[in-house]
Every structure is written in C-alpha cells, then in structure tokens.
Amino acid sequence: MRPAATRFTGPASGPSGGCSELRSTAGTGYTSVTRKNRRNDPDRLVLRKHDPVLGRHTEFCEER
C-alpha cells in the first residue's frame, strides 16, 4: 500500500510567504496569481495590471 501523496510546498510556503490571488476591480472576473512576502507586505496587495477581458490596464486587489 502506498502512502498518501504529499502536496509540494515550494519556497514560497511558510509563515512569511505564499501565493496571493488578485482579482480585477473592473468586475470582469479575471484573476491573476502572484507571490508576495507577507512579512514585508502584510497589507493587501494592489497592482495595476492588464485585464485581457477588458483590454486595458486596471487595478487588481488581493483576495484572501
């Protein structure tokens, strides 16, 4: 019998890092995934990125 598969946790895992999902504030439902250091940036991340559904740059806010 094989042991249960373990999920790979890369270098961004742990108490100080992790993946953050950014959602477009334009309401298109488009999301982007990025990494951030939670020790340096404990607040929610806001980036200005290109939304391909809308076809222009909009603000993307972090979801938790």
Q: Which helix (H) or strand (E) holds 33?
A: strand 31-37
Residue 34 is encoded by which pair of tokens? 């990025």
Q: What are the tens digits of pLDDT across the range 7-60?
A: 555 555 555 568 899 999 999 999 999 998 989 888 999 999 999 999 999 999
Q: What are the tens digits of pLDDT across the range 31-44?
A: 999 998 989 888 99
Q: In a 10 Å sphere around its CB, with 0-12 CB exposed, 13-18 middle and 19+ buried, how is residue 59 labelled?
A: middle
Is residue 46 within 8 A of residue 21, CB to CB? The reply is: no
Q: Which residues form the domain of 27?
A: 17-63
Is 11 among the domain residues? no
The CATH number for 36's domain is 2.20.28.120
Is 45 among the domain residues? yes
Is 12 among the domain residues? no
pLDDT of residue 32: 93
Please count the structural domains in the chain. 1
Is 57 among the domain residues? yes
Is residue 51 within 8 A of residue 27, CB to CB? The reply is: no
Chain-centroid distance of CA 57 in Å reads: 17
Residue 61 has pLDDT above 80, yes or no: yes
pLDDT of residue 10: 54
Is 38 among the domain residues? yes
pLDDT of residue 41: 86
